């Protein structure tokens, strides 16, 4: 009964995912934790002191939905204290029962809103951040323990593998949390400097490996060495634009509990294109709630008035007490520095110069005001909650009024050198207007400064990094007359999806179009024609031929690009159900011309790579590849499949389907040794420790195996044509053997080679 209840919970929680947003700012969640131990607080304190991330089992309800056996621990650094009633929680829903989740969420991060009398610093900062980079969602939750209200918490989305899957389309690439085990106010912390030397062990206390392979440490070290020793090549290792956005946000909202302060509170993740991406984290002390840094001009901290005019190029224009390569080594590049300032201008114009941040903060406070009043364990008074939106609240430190701080800071930054005076970019378009895959495309834009340096960034899917090329005003790129202010660039042989942005700069300032580039971009899409991308081969009974990255032998499907241009899989679906052709949306990748893409049909979407949400039926099944409007790209019906045998197109990519030797991710072949319509098929051949025998007719047969000199090794093995016999050849010596098949009065013989 208990197991049934758990599966019912799983079903209900998953079925509601599309009906609500668990992190909607408009909703206050109710989270109730039930411990069996009366001394639960002492146990959690002891676990925290041990520093081993131990958890205490508890039962949980979230908005009335019950979850048994969750794991609870305290989290945080300065926000935790054993003397506090209201400590931050980290709750793992799948602690006891694998797969247990709520609205697709298996971990809760609940912050206790210390260092923030206004209660909106964290939620407001994350809301702004999500406009420009992948960042956590956040709202509020009333938290109870054993039905006693502990208080109102911020409920922040965990940066975990689910987050990575949502934002990067992968979940198992290289992943590190960049926080030192012990923050050193007189040290480098997680600053990505290589002053720790060549031994990777020296880096262990400053970076926490969140992915699975120990070899990922070597990748991190290679990235750090390039950043420090070859910064001119860092674009091959780092998503520079994403990094500039993170720095821009931290400096605008004076979020110094971050890389720009003491080099902490961020993650790095390697995306599909092979670039490391920083991910912002822990924004509860933004808006100058934290005012300490090792920057030389403010090494002993800074006041609220100084916060209003903190130099956003401090680690470029001044001296860093400790290395800050992720700032300084990027800002040394004139273009990167102007791009960074352009991002600052966008954040200012879209959030602060237009007063939007104040309206959003007022709205958030209006939602939670009654719950803040009911929170008797909060760290500040009710009046502090109201006042801190605009006025400084003094406690152990001074917490600046958010509007007082940010209106002054916005005015300061708006006049900072490099913010104003940029070129304007208008009339962005492409030619031909009806662009098809395989065409050459021109991208054009009007730029107000004809002496500007104009760049085009383009790619064919989110799995690629942007290729950067110059846009010119010379009359040769569909750009009118030379010197007329219309700039153009050519993208040859385009894919069915083109994603692009434009950047223009003069000697002092730069501008992007669209303004939120490269997080946002222009898109041109066309459909591929039927059979441009084909279902080329499949294997519905994969016993040993090839395994996925987890070592599992699952069903697989091979797609093949029949064209001379790249094909993007954006908005393409695959299904084995003719009544539901939109069963599984392919990951967005590009498939090169004359290249292959493998999909594992194992109903395990949480594994790395392309894993469909269905399996193939070896007895009879179908495959459909289509767009969301139902237009079919390719399809295939197949009947009974056998181990060690695939079903593929011959000739490769264009022919009919036949049984064949599996040619996983390579050209389908049909040779004398690969003919599967022979009466006897043996695979693999040559073999080592085992091989399979398939008889291609529906007759009861007797199989015998002989040595080359006529001695019988195995005899009287009965089979029907529909069967596949697996032969253990581990005791066979290297050499040539013969397989005999006898039926009626006929004997067929085929040789098998054993190689040890």
pLDDT digit string (tens) for 67-102?
Answer: 999 999 999 988 999 999 999 999 999 999 998 999
pLDDT digits (tens, 9 = 90+) for 410-426: 999 999 999 999 999 99
Asked if 538 and 616 touch (Cβ cutoff 8 Å), the reply is yes
Highest-confidence range of 166-175, 439-448, 710-719, by mean pLDDT?
A: 439-448
Least confident of 345-354, 496-505, 550-559, 690-699: 690-699
Give SS3 for 651. coil
Tokens for 637, please give them: 């019906």
Asked if 463 and 272 touch (Cβ cutoff 8 Å), the reply is yes
Neighbours of 741 (CB within 10 A): 22
Residue that is written with structure tokens 């939620």 in the block: 123
Q: Which CATH fold topology does 680-754 show?
A: Immunoglobulin-like (2.60.40)
Q: What percent of the chain has pLDDT over 70?
A: 96
Q: Could you give the residue ranges of the DSSP H alpha helices within 51-160?
A: 121-129
Q: How far apart are CA 507 and CA 484, in angstroms?
A: 20
Query: Is the bond into 518 cis (omega within 30 degrees of 0)?
Result: yes
Q: Which of 673, 679, 678 is nearest to 661 (CA)?
A: 673
Q: Does the 533-660 domain belong in CATH 1.10.760?
A: no
- Cβ-Cβ contacts under 8 Å for 454 (sequence gap 6 or more): 423, 445, 447, 470, 471, 472, 473, 487, 502, 503, 504
What's the alpha-carbon Rg for the chain, to the nearest Å?
Answer: 31
Q: Looking at domain 425-523, which CATH architecture does it have?
A: Sandwich (2.60)
Find the mean pLDDT for residues 129-158: 98
Buried b (16+ CB within 10 A) or exposed e, 272-306: beebbbbbbbbbbbbbbbbbebbbebbbeebebee
Q: How far from chain centre, in Å, is Cα 544? A: 30
Q: Is the pLDDT of residue 1 over 50?
A: no
Choice between 258 and 670, residue whose per-residue pLDDT is larger: 258
pLDDT digits (tens, 9 = 90+) for 631-688: 999 999 999 888 778 999 999 999 999 988 888 999 998 644 444 446 777 877 888 9
340-to-35, 125, 252, 364 alpha-carbon distances in Å: 49, 19, 11, 29
Tokens for 618, please give them: 């070896």
Asked if 270 and 176 touch (Cβ cutoff 8 Å), the reply is no
Q: Is the pLDDT of residue 49 over 50?
A: yes
């Amino acid at each position: 009964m208990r197991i049934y209840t758990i599966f019912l919970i799983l079903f209900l929680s998953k079925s509601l995912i599309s009906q609500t947003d668990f992190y909607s700012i408009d909703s206050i969640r109710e989270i109730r934790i039930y411990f069996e131990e009366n001394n639960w607080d002492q146990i959690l304190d002891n676990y925290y002191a041990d520093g081993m991330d131990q958890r205490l089992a508890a039962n949980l309800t979230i908005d009335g939905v019950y979850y048994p056996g969750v794991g609870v621990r305290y989290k945080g650094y300065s926000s935790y204290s054993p003397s506090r009633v209201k400590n931050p929680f980290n709750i793992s829903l799948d602690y006891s029962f694998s797969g247990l989740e709520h609205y697709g969420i298996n971990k809760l991060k609940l912050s206790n809103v210390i260092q923030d009398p206004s209660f909106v610093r964290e939620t407001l900062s994350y809301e702004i951040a999500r406009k420009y980079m992948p960042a956590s969602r956040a709202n509020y939750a009333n938290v109870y323990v054993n039905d006693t209200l502990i208080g109102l918490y911020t409920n922040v989305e965990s940066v975990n593998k689910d987050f990575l899957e949502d934002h990067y389309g992968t979940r198992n690439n290289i992943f590190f949390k960049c926080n030192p085990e012990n923050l050193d106010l007189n040290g480098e912390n997680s600053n990505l400097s290589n002053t720790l030397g060549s031994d990777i062990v020296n880096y262990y206390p400053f970076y926490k490996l969140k992915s699975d392979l120990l070899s990922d440490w070597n990748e991190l070290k290679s990235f750090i060495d390039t950043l420090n020793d070859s910064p001119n090549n860092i674009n091959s290792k780092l998503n520079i634009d994403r990094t500039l956005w993170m720095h821009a946000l931290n400096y605008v909202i004076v979020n110094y509990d971050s890389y720009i302060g003491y080099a902490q509170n961020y993650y790095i993740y390697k995306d599909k294109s092979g670039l490391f991406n920083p991910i912002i984290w822990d924004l509860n002390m933004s808006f100058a709630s934290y005012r300490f840094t090792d920057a030389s001009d403010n090494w002993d901290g800074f006041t609220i008035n100084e916060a209003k005019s903190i130099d956003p190029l401090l680690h470029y224009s001044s001296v860093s007490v400790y290395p800050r390569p992720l700032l300084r080594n990027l800002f040394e590049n004139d273009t990167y520095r102007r791009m960074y300032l352009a991002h600052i201008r966008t954040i200012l114009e879209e959030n602060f110069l237009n007063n939007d941040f104040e309206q959003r903060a007022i709205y958030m406070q209006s939602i939670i005001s009654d719950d803040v009043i009911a929170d008797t364990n909060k760290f500040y008074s009710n009046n502090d909650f109201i006042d801190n939106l605009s006025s400084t609240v003094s406690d152990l430190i001074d917490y600046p009024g958010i509007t007082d701080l940010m209106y002054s800071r916005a005015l300061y930054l708006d006049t900072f050198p490099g913010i104003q005076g940029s070129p304007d970019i208008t009339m962005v378009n492409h030619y031909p207007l009806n662009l098809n895959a395989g065409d050459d495309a021109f991208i054009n834009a009007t730029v107000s400064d004809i002496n500007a340096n104009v760049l085009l960034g383009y790619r064919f899917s989110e799995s690629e990094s942007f290729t950067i090329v110059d846009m010119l005003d010379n009359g040769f790129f569909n750009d009118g007359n030379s010197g007329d202010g219309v700039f153009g660039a050519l993208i040859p042989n385009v894919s069915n999806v083109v994603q692009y942005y434009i950047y223009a700069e003069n000697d002092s300032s730069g501008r992007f179009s669209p303004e939120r580039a490269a997080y946002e971009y222009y898109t041109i899409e066309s459909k591929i024609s039927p059979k441009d991308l084909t279902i080329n081969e499949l294997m519905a009974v994969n016993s040993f031929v090839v395994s996925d990255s987890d070592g599992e032998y699952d069903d697989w499907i091979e797609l093949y690009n029949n064209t001379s241009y790249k094909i993007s899989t954006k908005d393409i679906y695959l299904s084995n159900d003719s009544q539901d052709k939109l069963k599984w949306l392919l990951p967005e990748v590009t498939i090169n011309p004359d290249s292959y893409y493998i999909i594992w049909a194992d109903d395990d979407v949480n594994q790395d790579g392309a894993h469909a949400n269905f399996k193939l039926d070896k007895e009879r099944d179908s495959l459909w590849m289509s767009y969301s409007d139902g237009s079919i790209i390719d399809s295939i019906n197949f009947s009974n499949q056998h181990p060690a045998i695939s079903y593929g197109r011959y000739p490769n990519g264009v022919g009919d389907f036949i049984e064949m030797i599996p040619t996983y991710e390579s050209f389908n072949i049909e040779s004398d040794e690969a003919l599967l319509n022979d009466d006897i098929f043996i695979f693999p051949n040559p073999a080592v420790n085992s091989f399979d025998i398939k008889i291609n007719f529906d007759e009861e047969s007797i199989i015998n195996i002989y040595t080359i000199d006529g001695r019988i090794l195995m005899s009287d093995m009965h089979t029907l044509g529909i069967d596949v016999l697996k032969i253990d050849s581990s005791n066979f010596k290297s050499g040539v053997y013969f397989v005999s098949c006898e039926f009626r009065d006929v004997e067929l013989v085929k040789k098998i080679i054993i190689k040890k």
